[in-house]
Structure 1
Amino acid sequence: MSRTFIKTVLIAAVTVTGISLATASPAKAGNDDLAKFLFGATALIIIGKAISDNEAKAAPVYKSKPKPRPRFTKALPGKCLRRYNTWDGRVRMMGNRCLENNYRFTHRLPNSCRTRVRTDNGMRRGYQMRCLRNNGFYIANR
């Protein structure tokens, strides 16, 4: 049997008992006050039960799961690897703008690896590949 059915039957029994006590015995001086008290107490119990049932049926509150943060990866996109000829030799570096467009975690790259290189086509900015490898980064695909 369900709990609500049992509670309803119990409340009805208490109510009927309170009413029958008030009407069953002959009118005596003290018995009339007792009947009024029992009737009032029963009414309060029924009202309290109705309020508590209404609160129990309130809409449940669901907590949403936090969105998982993207995992930081040290795999750099291979298409950002650049080779530049400078006056003192060849330089391998990851292009700054290419990384900003294709790698989500540029803010996690070590600042000590940042570099500028003067080429025949002007200044180029990026990250030294050797420095990045020493810090655990690698090229994912070429």
Structure 2
Amino acid sequence: VACALGAALFYAAYQLLTRKLVATEPALRLLFYTALFGTLAMSPTLPWAWDGRLPTLAQAGLIVSLGVYGGVGHFFLIRAFRQTPAALLSPLLYVQLVWATLLGWLAFGDLPDWISVAGMLVIAASGLFLIVDRRHFR
């Protein structure tokens, strides 16, 4: 629970800082500092997470591809925040719930329980309400 709460807090901070800094900072600078902060913050946890075995070539490729996909995704997020108001873009980020569920099922054979699905539906409905409500009153 503590790890999930910490991840949610750091993700929220990441989203808020990206929204604020996108107006004044170039995209590559934001990418660099995000990677630098993540590296510095997570490196002290390495002794507890790594058992000493080196990854195989296939595993190393997956690790590198994860970094590339994350970097490209963050770059696109920066560009989207630069060109679209955050209030309109933020509800669209809820599509991550669908992808996380699908990938969790495909990679690990894990599906969320009914309470998790109910929570996801509340979050998605809130995002859709914000989109519909904003268009209705303009």
TM-score bucket (shorter structure): under 0.3
Higher-Rg structure is 1
Higher relative contact order (CA 8 A, sep 6+): 2
Compare the two structures and name the one with the higher helix fraction.
2
Compare the two structures and name the one with the higher strand fraction.
1
The TM-score normalised by the length of structure 2 is 0.24
The TM-score normalised by the length of structure 1 is 0.23
